[in-house]
Amino acid sequence: MNPGESLPVGQHNLEIQGNRLAWERKPQLRAVYRGFHELIASRLDRSVAGLVVELGSGMGSIKEVIPDCVTTDLFPNPWLDCQENAYRLSFADGAVSNLILFDVWHHLRYPGTALAEFRRVLAPGGRVIVFDPAVSLMGRLLYGLFHHEPLGMRLALTWDAPEGFEPSDADYFAAQGAATRIFWRRENPGRLAGWELLEARPLSSFEYFATGGFSGPQLGGAFAFRLWRELDRMASALPNLFAARLLIVLKSTK
């Protein structure tokens, strides 16, 4: 897949089905994801009334850590709560307290249009929590060489959908560097008017890469993963070199 290329949106559901098989046979991958979900859970603002919703839930595993989370995706699957499109959500105005996007932001071809819809459904002071790839030097190398989705670091980002756009016409889009550019490198910060960026935290993730993800081989057993975790702790001091994940917390200022 090349930067800006359009693929049928059904590609997303094919990946979900394939990922479920890898999920079942890789306990270390499940453990790493649980850690990611715990990190996300620690950023929820429970003082705001409303639903906790995840967009693009895939296999819905976040419920293991956040049981009351409403899991959604573009496609209906029996393990998810409902079907949702980020550009046109079914939730009432102000009904959502926290909106979670795990590996979803880089699939938004029109992030500004999506943010406008997020603001509509969020209660005053509600949060959007984004967990996405971080393109550091290491991230550029690993994602660029071993992941099928493009980095898109030089792709012209289209903030708003064109006139006449219908959410049902959304295609399969990917630019892994989108969150890095917008939230970490702060390209055109004026685009985030109406939002307070509470946190943009780059994270090292050798432990995740050692699992092989959903398609590659695992590197080592339980002892090796303790070493990978310690390496992540040390590498966190040099995010521009080693960050591979990015945790973003946005607060609606409406």
- Tens of each residue's pLDDT in the chain, 254 residues: 556 555 445 555 666 666 777 777 788 889 999 999 999 999 999 999 999 999 999 989 999 999 999 999 998 889 999 999 999 999 999 999 999 999 999 999 999 999 999 999 999 999 999 999 999 999 999 888 877 899 999 999 999 999 999 999 888 899 999 999 999 999 999 999 999 999 999 999 999 888 887 777 787 777 788 899 899 999 989 999 999 999 999 999 97
- Answer left, alpha or beta for residue 72, where phi above 0 means left and psi between -120 and 50 means alpha: beta
Domain count across the chain: 1
CA distance 106 to 110: 10
Amino acid 156: pLDDT: 94
Residue 120: strand, helix, or coil: helix
Cβ neighbors of 131 (< 8 A, separation 6 or more) are: 36, 39, 40, 100, 101, 102, 103, 245, 246, 247, 248
CATH number at residue 243: 3.40.50.150
Q: Are 246 and 202 in contact (CB under 8 A)?
A: yes
Q: Are 219 and 104 in contact (CB under 8 A)?
A: no
Amino acid 221: pLDDT: 75
Q: Is 194 among the domain residues?
A: yes
Amino acid 7: pLDDT: 46
Handedness of CA 182, 147, 207, 73 (dihedral sign): positive
pTM for this predicted structure? 0.90
Q: Which range of residues forms the domain containing residue 240?
A: 11-252
Q: Is 5 among the domain residues?
A: no
CA distance 254 to 238: 35
Q: Are 95 and 102 in contact (CB under 8 A)?
A: no
Q: Is 117 among the domain residues?
A: yes
Amino acid 11: pLDDT: 55
Amino acid 212: pLDDT: 82
61 is written with which tokens? 């595993």
Residue bearing tokens 């071809």 = 109
Q: Is 26 among the domain residues?
A: yes
